[in-house]
Amino acid sequence: QITLKESGPTLVKPTQTLTATCTFSGFSLSTSGVGVGWIRQPPGKALEFLALIFWNGEKRYSPSLRSGLTITKDTSKNQVVLTMTNMDPEDTATYYCAHMQGCTSMVICYYDYLGQGTPVTVSS
Amino acid sequence: EVVMTQSPATLSVSPGERATLSCGASQSVRNNLAWYQQKPGQAPRLLIYGASTRATGVPARFSGSGSGTDFTLTISSLQSEDFAVYHCQQYDNWWTFGQGTKVEIK
């Protein structure tokens, strides 16, 4: 059974750095074709792709948010970490991590499992 | 960026009735389209991928159709557990989502 759980601060001050952790079970991020990504949903707005890391270490970042985003993985701990620098009130959102598999080409792949999300508010 | 547009924003339906949700893409995404169901406080759940293939465990009352730029999710006979928000997502060119359609009880 694949599960993903997000954790991190619920409140971040403007200009600070957000560090969010996705801890997962039921799969290995060293298995070919597997990827774990981050998606967010601001209040009342659409879900938005942020970043994705594949089993082989390849990374993908949102073209509109590339600057300030870093995604890393710790395969031994079954964790993926998202770092966002210079947080702004517009970054207030629920942050989700998500799993994909069968993605050996690293394109044309969809998320099949998502976590429940962690709410983050950016405010002074 | 491929812009996904869902309609309507809210759909009021009586239990047992049919619900039809639409999703449009600003450019062709071929059949690389997924639908997710989201209930309050829960993780989004994959329903459909490849525009029309049901994910494991998804009831047959859910069906997807379309290709290119126009897609439809149909729920043939709404059950109480189907009242939720539905998101479409294209994965042909990066990953973008629609704004969601809320299916509420009429």
DSSP string, A53-77: EETTS-EEE-TTT-TTEEEEEEGGG
Q: A64 to chain B: nearest residue by CA? A: B1
pLDDT digits (tens, 9 = 90+) for B17-69: 999 999 999 999 999 999 999 998 888 999 999 999 999 999 999 999 999 99
The better pLDDT of the pair A70, A63 is held by A70
Residues in chain A: 124
pLDDT at res. A97: 97
Tell me if A46 and B99 make a contact (CB, 8 A cut-off): yes
Tell me if B32 and A45 make a contact (CB, 8 A cut-off): no
- Work out the pLDDT band at B14, boundaries 50, 70, 90: very high
Out of A89-98, A103-112, B77-86, which region has the weakest mean confidence (pLDDT)? A103-112
Q: Residues of chain A with pLDDT > 70: what percent?
A: 99
- Work out the pLDDT band at A11, boundaries 50, 70, 90: very high
Q: How far is CA A14 from the centre of its chain?
A: 20
- CA A49 to chain B, closest CA, distance in angstroms equals 6
- As a whole number of angstroms, the distance between CA B54 and CA B27 comes to 24
pLDDT at res. B41: 84
Q: Residues of chain A with pLDDT > 90: what percent?
A: 87
pLDDT at res. B42: 87
Statement: residue A10 has pLDDT above 80: yes
pLDDT at res. A106: 80
Q: B100 to chain A: nearest residue by CA? A: A46
Q: What is the C-alpha end-to-end distance of chain B, expressed in Å?
A: 35
Statement: residue B12 has pLDDT above 90: yes
What average pLDDT does range A94-112 have in this prediction?
91
Cα atoms found within 13 Å of the Cα of residue A89, Cβ hemisphere only: 2
Q: What is the C-alpha end-to-end distance of chain A, expressed in Å?
A: 40
For A49, which of B43, B96, B100 is closest by C-beta distance?
B96
Which residues of A are less than 8 Å from B43 in CB distance? Answer: 4, 96, 113-117
Burial code (b: 16+ CB inside 10 Å, e: under 16) for A97-122 equals bbbbbebeeeeebbbbbbbebbebeb
Statement: residue A66 has pLDDT above 80: no
Tell me if B43 and A64 make a contact (CB, 8 A cut-off): no
Return mean pLDDT, chain B. 96
pLDDT at res. A95: 97
Tell me if B92 and A96 make a contact (CB, 8 A cut-off): no
C-alpha pair distances (Å), A53 with each of A37, A59, A74, A82: 6, 4, 11, 10
pLDDT at res. A64: 83
What average pLDDT does range A59-70 have in this prediction?
88
H helix intervals, chain B: none
Return mean pLDDT, chain A. 94
pLDDT at res. A108: 86
Which residues of A are less than 8 Å from B92 in CB distance? Answer: 108
Tokens for B37?
């169901």
